[in-house]
Amino acid sequence: MSVIDEVRSRIDIVDVIGSYVKLTRSGRSYKGLSPFQNERTPSFFVFPDSQTYKDFSSGEQGDIFSFMMKKEWPEYVGSEAAEKVAKRSFDLMEYLFLLRKDGKLKEDWSVDVGTIGYHVPCHLKIQKIGFRSRDVMKRLPGAEITLVDKCSCMDGTWGMKTEYYELSKKGAAPLLQQLTENQPKTLASDCLIAKLQIEEGTGQEVLHPIEIVWKAYGGSVE
């Protein structure tokens, strides 16, 4: 069990968020007023079964870690500027997804990107960001995406250590097999550490999704 999993298993998200928000039971979930913006009707929900939350008024969502970062970090720093930064902090592809949702993303793509084998990294799952990279890439001209939700077995620098190197390679085999079985034109991952594992195991360059978006606009990736 990882440290993150151990912390998560010992903490009840309802208890923690309940210290910030007055929660009332609503079926299998709990609801309350948004802790991120002012509202009169409760649109903030906490889900004990999945240990996650969703704020329908602001769009914020995630697990206990993302809640504490967005809620506690501005208080630790103690400035209005830090609070503004916290409210506007997004993963890169999450930000593009939200821009498109608001009709602000230019979609004048001119280049077909073709088939893509896309690896979903663990940090996006931990942060409950979801498949925003896939959601953006599938809008690109000619995009055919195979999403692979398998571990790269790098675990930071663990897979680079001499004593764990071969074990790491063995553990990553299912990921490499599924990424390449349809012989996609391009391999992609949001994780630069997973990129090293995939490139070594396949001999094929791995691009970040934003690089594929840039190519669709007609840009070059060198």
- CATH number for the domain spanning 208: value is 3.40.50
pTM (2 d.p.):
0.65
**Do 122 and 73 lie in a common domain?**
no
pLDDT of residue 217: 96
Residue 108 maps to a domain:
no
Question: Mean pLDDT over residues 75-97, rounded?
Answer: 80
Residue 109 maps to a domain:
no
Instruction: Find tokens 């553990």 and name the residue.
Output: 171
pLDDT of residue 86: 73
**Do 29 and 76 lie in a common domain?**
yes
47-74 residue pLDDT tens: 999 889 999 988 888 888 888 888 777 6
- pLDDT above 70 covers a percentage of the chain that reads 95
**Do 66 and 18 lie in a common domain?**
yes
Among candidate residues 46, 68, 87, the one where a domain is terminated? 87
Residue 9 maps to a domain:
yes
Select from 66, 64, 86, 65 the least CA-distant residue to 75: 86
Phi-psi domain of 214 (left: phi exceeds 0; alpha: psi -120 through 50; beta: other) = alpha
For residue 68 the two structure tokens come to 């504490």
**Do 199 and 141 lie in a common domain?**
yes
19-37 residue pLDDT tens: 889 999 999 999 999 998 8
Rounded distance, CA 197 to CA 203, Å? 10
For residue 53 the two structure tokens come to 């939350």
Residue 11 maps to a domain:
yes
Domain tally for the chain? 2
Looking up residue 7, the CATH number of its domain turns out to be 3.90.580.10
User: What range does the domain containing 77 cover?
Assistant: 3-87
Question: At 184, which amino acid appears?
Answer: P
